[in-house]
A and B are shown apart, each in its own frame.
Chain A
Amino acid sequence: MIVLPHLLTFPGAFAPFGLLGAGLSTTAWLFVFWHLGLPISVIGYAYLIDERRALTRSAIYSTVTLVIGLACLLTWIVAKHDDALPALFVDQIGFTVWANRVTSMDFIISVAALMALWLRRRSVLDQWLIVSVSALVAELASTTFVITSRFSLGFYTQRIFSLAASTIVLSALLAEATVLYARLGNAIGRLRREQETKITSAQAITAAIAHEIKQPLTRITAGGYAAQRFLKRVSPQLDKAQAALDGVVKAGHSTSAVIDGFRSIFGKVDEEQQLVDMNELITEVVDSLNIPLKLARRAARCRSR
């Protein structure tokens, strides 16, 4: 904000003696304030970085308004009351002794800012701020102790250094922020995929359990139903009811075996390995089918080799 009036009032830039009704030292005073803003805010930053608060949009708007107001006020003061302030220039080119005295104040504050930043440095931003403030310290050291006039070698080189430093810092911060958000996006994607995989495998396990348990469950229902029928007859057929109930108990055991089998997949149960008699297995399946068939007075038979 303050760079704009500095540019407008600089002699020879837009008008031979600068715009905004500038006096000889107006531009120089603007330079002094311009180079105070960054170090003061860096010192404030170093001490208030951990002061956390929910910052609303209006907090940012009021900061912007405050900054613009301050810049306008300072510009008005140094443009209107140039005569009341110590003269910093003898002509458009040469500094007075006061110029170096005033910029030495800027220099001291910027060194303090660099030290505060160095002591508090933690983040990526802090590292790049060190570059910015170092360039500022270099520029002010040169202005205070070396340069005695505008358009000298130090004047030109220092501005080029500062320009290079601020370009590098902005590019680096933009690049860092972009990489950070890309990484964040990837992390969110990974998390979502992980959740989806979990849901899918839960669905698969549920389907498998349902499939395995349905078969003995059908046997239990059918066996119970058959036993009821045999007992309800005028002359209850106890032996057949007994056989049907035996089948129910057996099916109950095999259900629990199925559940144990599933739990063993997740390593929660001590595994028990057994030989499987395929003939017995087939007979069992046929038996379970036979109960409803027997009720219909039909029978399935199987022959095993």
Chain B
Amino acid sequence: MTEHKVFDNFEPSIATTTPTARQRRLTLVIAAIVLIATAIIAPFGAVQLRRIDGFIPATESVIIIIDFFTAVLLFSQSRIVGSVGLLLLAGGYLFSAH
């Protein structure tokens, strides 16, 4: 039966599902917003502001947690798919993201 064949080839992973047009648009819009916002701020980027010592501990603590969970998610996906590339990416996230 064709339905069963589809089912057998189906890998339940975000690394193998094809994105919908809506997902494509959404991700590209977010990426564009980040790049454009950076470009807009660039002319004033060098302006020196007050030193806030609590800023780095606060933001980097959140980054550590978020990257850790992203790495865990990717490690589990790499086992589901059995992809060496995904394992490497998960390792990259564990080492550092931004």
A contact set with B: CB distance below 8 Å = 1-4, 6-7, 10, 12-14, 33-38, 40-42, 44-55, 57, 59-60, 63-64, 66-67, 70-71, 93, 122-132, 134-139, 141-142, 145-163, 165-170, 172-174, 176-177, 180-181, 184, 187, 191
Contacts and interface: CB of A to CB of B under 8 A. Distances in A.
A134 B45 contact: no
Interface residues of B, number: 69
Contacts of A71: 95
A251 to B, nearest CB: 40
B45 A152 contact: yes
B70 to A, nearest CB: 5
B95 A37 contact: yes
A125 B96 contact: no
Contact of B91 (A41, A150, A158): A41
A136 B35 CA distance: 10
Given A49-B15, A152-B48, A166-B66, A138 B34 contact: yes
B4 to A, nearest CB: 8
Contact of B24 (A44, A66, A127, A172): A127
Interface in B22-52: 23-24, 27-28, 30-32, 34-35, 37-38, 41-42, 44-52
Most B-side CB within 10 Å, residue of A42, A127, A141, A165: A127
Nearest to B62: A163
Interface in B51-98: 51-53, 55-57, 59-64, 66-67, 69-70, 73, 75, 77-79, 81-98
A38 B34 contact: no
Contact of A44 (B30, B70, B88): B88
Contacts of A127: 19, 23-24, 27-28
A3 B51 contact: no
Nearest to B45: A154
26 contacts: A1-B95, A3-B96, A4-B64, A7-B56, A33-B96, A38-B93, A41-B91, A41-B93, A44-B92, A48-B83, A60-B75, A60-B78, A63-B88, A63-B91, A67-B95, A123-B13, A125-B14, A130-B27, A131-B27, A152-B49, A157-B38, A161-B34, A163-B63, A176-B14, A180-B14, A180-B17
Given A3-B63, A170-B66, A162 B27 contact: no
Given A50-B83, A152-B49, A130 B28 contact: yes
A34 B82 CA distance: 26
Nearest to B16: A123
B51 to A, nearest CB: 5
Sorted nearest first, the 8 A-B pairs with minimum C-beta distance are A41-B92, A154-B45, A48-B85, A37-B96, A146-B45, A134-B31, A49-B85, A138-B38
Contacts of B97: 37-38, 132, 136, 166
B77 to A, nearest CB: 7
Contacts of A191: 7
A217 B17 CA distance: 58
Contact of B79 (A34, A49, A55, A132): A55
B18 interface: yes
B48 A41 contact: no
Contacts of B18: 122-124
Contacts of B59: 159-160, 163
Contact of A13 (B53, B77, B89): B53
